[in-house]
Structure 1
Amino acid sequence: LGTGIGRDDFNADKLRYHKIILMADADVDGAHIRTLLLTFFYRQMPQIIDGGFLYIAQPPLYKVARGKSEVYLKDQAAFEDYLIQQGTEGAVLRLGDGTEIAGADLARVVEGARSFRRVLDAFPTHYPRGILEQAALSGAFDAGRADGDLQLVANTVAQRLDAVALEYEKGWSGRITQDHGIRLSRILRGVEELRTLDGAVLRSGEARKLSQFAGGLKEHFTTEAQLVRKDRELPIHGPTDLLKAILTEGEKGLSLQRYKGLGEMNPEQLWETTLDPDARTLLQVRVDDVAEADDVFTKLMGDVVEPRREFIQQNALNVENLDF
């Protein structure tokens, strides 16, 4: 760049290029590398950012093709957006009471299911996802629920689990634990199977957020629903069933290529998607609030661990796209 390095030695007048583009892989590793590079420029060459000379390239993570049509997609979120668009086309969600949801209304329900899944994935892995989902739809995590209603909730969760289970796997029952949690059990092939949602998880921050997303979905999944698309009917017992079915339908007939790195693209693809000035997408790096930016860089990229730990603990429940 010809400018020197550091706040004292940097000379912007010697800058050889007025468009500096950071190119990194579109996956999580690339995001980490890009963060390190941004930290370097912010700490050592801030005038490049202030002058509007720093940009971030937007290489695709996926290429999807259907017939002769090809589309490049920037990241996992864009890929799911595409699959949802394709999967909801011509699809109808038929609820247990006969109500049918399609088009933009169906897309909104699927997006709600997508947000529900993100929160569900934040729970510790030893809690079965299917039980957490049915518990949320039964109101087990509702903040306004009275303790006296917990047995009714436990019974409802057991009934919903039976509705999902195969005929020979039914027989769930629920009861309240001493710490005001829920214990679910059934006899399967002569052996008792136990699953517990302890009182701590029912009152956790993750549970509160899951309850918020479940609130807008409960009415659609009071009983078994059906996803109807192209003369096929798929049973739907909850938000994750719906999301999985839509993504599967959207992926049918697609040819998919995932780029692990920029080096996996042939020169023509790299030019077409990332380098061509007439077609590429660039993000200009700007700092609108210097004090806030400095605080974030100090917390997340500094040498002191404790502020970073506190930041993660305080904001973990607010994250929507983690490592996409």
Structure 2
Amino acid sequence: MPGKLADCQERDPALSELFIVEGDSAGGSAKQGRARKNQAILPLRGKILNVEKARFDKMLSSQEIRLLITALGAGVGKDDKDLSKLRYHTIILMCDADVDGAHIRTLLLTFFYRHYQEIIDAGHLFIAQPPLYRVKRGRAQQYLKDEPALEDYLIELGAGDLTLRGQGAPALSGTPLKQFVKKAMVLERVLDIFERKGRNRHVLTALARQPTMGAGALATEDHLREIITAAEAYLRAAAPETLPVSFSFEEDREHACVRLVASTRANGTAQRSVIDRELCLTPEFEELRRLARDLAAAGEPPFLLGESDAGEPVHNLPATVARIMAQARKGLEIQRYKGLGEMNPTQLWETTMSPESRTLLQVKIEDGYEADEIFSTLMGDEVEPRRKFIEANALNVRNLDI
């Protein structure tokens, strides 16, 4: 057996588990915290070879890949592979809960998909769900899987006793307020995408709130002028620091319509935000419009937020979210695990390894053709298809490392 492998006592593969662990540090904690009777631990160092790009002989020359193949015990390659010799029928990928961990997990999934698809088809491959956060309030503590889980926890805590009052709309509290805050946070992430592409987030929000704003609104300047008037009123109330904004029109001959151009200045730097037909037809802009309209139902800023009937004024959505998050964090200790190795053996067992408390995701292939395309796109040599895939799925992820 490979030197790094801490094998289990059980010899029946149906009762044996193999944890493939990211890093020696986490491997050490896992070895101490495991159930030695039926849980084996194989630590792998760093990011393993991307087998999508490697020839078979190069793959076999990789030390980490050889360790993994030896631990599985079933050989590799069409002439030497014998799945009846597989030593574990529960194989668990246990990587850090951050972006690097996701990359390593993808490399491992690529390896299993390309060389051990039979293991996946037999239902033997799983993904562990270690927590990314531990939150502690007084003596009570709770583990949270990822950023969305932390957000939900903080929203529940921060918005619980508060009421939000917008101009000309019913007050929000309880579940409606929590849903409002969640949508506001998603809106900010969508705006981050546009801001990275050089567009002003406040101008886009002001325009997207208008019910008739879309590709059809670019047909005539007259229609756009009505939208601009309403958008300017919103900016005066919610983002006065954006003013002045100069709106102008450009002809779009290709689509027989106009482009709307918003010129602003931030920290002395001029910014030119172009709103054209192509932008209005993107999934991101459609999502922005939907969220902005839903949030507009809470009324116009400034808002009043507090436990009392009066509350304190907040001038826009980001300030509202920030106030609620600050309320939630009072008296709260939040620990973010940089890696599995930061957890002691007992914590790792309780959160990630114990059959009584852990959560495992079973790896399944529902569409072989689509799976093949995804692995080729994400892990292959071609950069352009990967870029397009990432852009097309940008709304489906929270943290993206490009």
Q: Is the 8 A contact 1:22 1:34 kept in 2?
A: yes
Alignment partner of 1:152 out of 223, 226, 229? 226
Q: Distance in 2 between matches of 1:111 and 1:143?
A: 27
2:208 pairs with 1:136: yes
Which amino acid is the alignment partner of residue 400 of structure 2?
D
Counterpart position of 1:203: 280
SS at match of 1:99: coil
Q: Distance in 2 between matches of 1:202 and 1:140?
A: 15
Q: Distance in 1 between matches of 2:332 and 2:395?
A: 33
Which amino acid is the alignment partner of residue 272 of structure 1?
E
Bigger mean CA deviation after superposition, 23-32 or 291-300:
291-300
SS at match of 1:177: strand
2:393 pairs with 1:321: no
1:47 Cα deviation after fit:
1.5
Bigger mean CA deviation after superposition, 90-99 or 229-238:
229-238
Q: Is the 8 A contact 1:177 1:198 kept in 2?
A: no
Counterpart position of 1:255: 333
2:362 pairs with 1:288: no
TM-score, length basis structure 2: 0.70
Which runs of structure 2 are paired with 1:206-285 in the superposition (5 Å)? 206-229=284-307, 233-285=311-363
Counterpart position of 1:161: 235
Q: CA RMSD in A?
A: 2.9
Which amino acid is the alignment partner of residue 233 of structure 2?
Q
Counterpart position of 1:41: 112
Counterpart position of 1:14: 85
Which amino acid is the alignment partner of residue 38 of structure 1?
L
Q: Deviations over 1:94-147 (max 9, x none)?
A: 121362111111122222222222211111433333333233224684334353
Q: Is the 8 A contact 1:116 1:213 kept in 2?
A: yes
Q: Distance in 2 between matches of 1:214 and 1:140?
A: 12
Counterpart position of 2:63: none
Q: Distance in 1 between matches of 2:325 and 2:394?
A: 25
Bigger mean CA deviation after superposition, 99-108 or 191-200:
191-200
Alignment partner of 1:94 out of 156, 165, 175? 165
- From the superposition, tell whether residues 218 and 258 of structure 1 become closer, same or farther in structure 2 (CA, over 3 Å): same
1:306 Cα deviation after fit:
4.3
Q: Is the 8 A contact 1:150 1:176 kept in 2?
A: no
Structure 1 unpaired stretches of 5+: none
1:24 Cα deviation after fit:
0.5
- From the superposition, tell whether residues 170 and 61 of structure 1 become closer, same or farther in structure 2 (CA, over 3 Å): closer
Q: Is the 8 A contact 1:151 1:175 kept in 2?
A: no
1:3 Cα deviation after fit:
0.9
Q: Is the 8 A contact 2:163 2:173 kept in 1?
A: yes
Q: Is the 8 A contact 1:60 1:73 kept in 2?
A: yes
Identity, % of aligned positions: 43
Which amino acid is the alignment partner of residue 102 of structure 1?
S
2:247 pairs with 1:175: yes
Structure with greater contact order relative to length (CA < 8 Å, sep ≥ 6): 1
SS at match of 1:30: helix
- From the superposition, tell whether residues 45 and 235 of structure 1 become closer, same or farther in structure 2 (CA, over 3 Å): same
2:374 pairs with 1:312: no
Q: Is the 8 A contact 1:116 1:239 kept in 2?
A: no
Which runs of structure 2 are paired with 1:42-121 in the superposition (5 Å)? 42-97=113-168, 99-121=170-192
- From the superposition, tell whether residues 260 and 232 of structure 1 become closer, same or farther in structure 2 (CA, over 3 Å): farther
Q: Distance in 1 between matches of 2:177 and 2:189?
A: 19
1:60 Cα deviation after fit:
0.6
1:254 Cα deviation after fit:
0.7
Which amino acid is the alignment partner of residue 13 of structure 1?
S
1:231 Cα deviation after fit:
8.5
Counterpart position of 1:26: 97
Counterpart position of 2:53: none
1:26 Cα deviation after fit:
0.5
Bigger mean CA deviation after superposition, 77-86 or 4-13:
4-13
Alignment partner of 1:123 out of 194, 204, 217? 194
- From the superposition, tell whether residues 164 and 311 of structure 1 become closer, same or farther in structure 2 (CA, over 3 Å): closer
Which amino acid is the alignment partner of residue 90 of structure 1?
D
Moved over 4 A (4+): 138-141, 191-195
TM-score, length basis structure 1: 0.86
Bigger mean CA deviation after superposition, 170-179 or 90-99:
170-179
Q: Distance in 2 between matches of 1:11 and 1:247?
A: 54
Which has the greater radius of gyration? 2
Which amino acid is the alignment partner of residue 177 of structure 1?
F
1:237 Cα deviation after fit:
3.8
Q: Is the 8 A contact 2:134 2:144 kept in 1?
A: yes
Q: Deviations over 1:218-269 (max 9, x none)?
A: 2224232222237893434443333333322222221010000011112221
Bigger mean CA deviation after superposition, 196-205 or 210-219:
196-205
Q: Distance in 2 between matches of 1:235 and 1:7?
A: 69
1:59 Cα deviation after fit:
0.8
1:171 Cα deviation after fit:
6.1
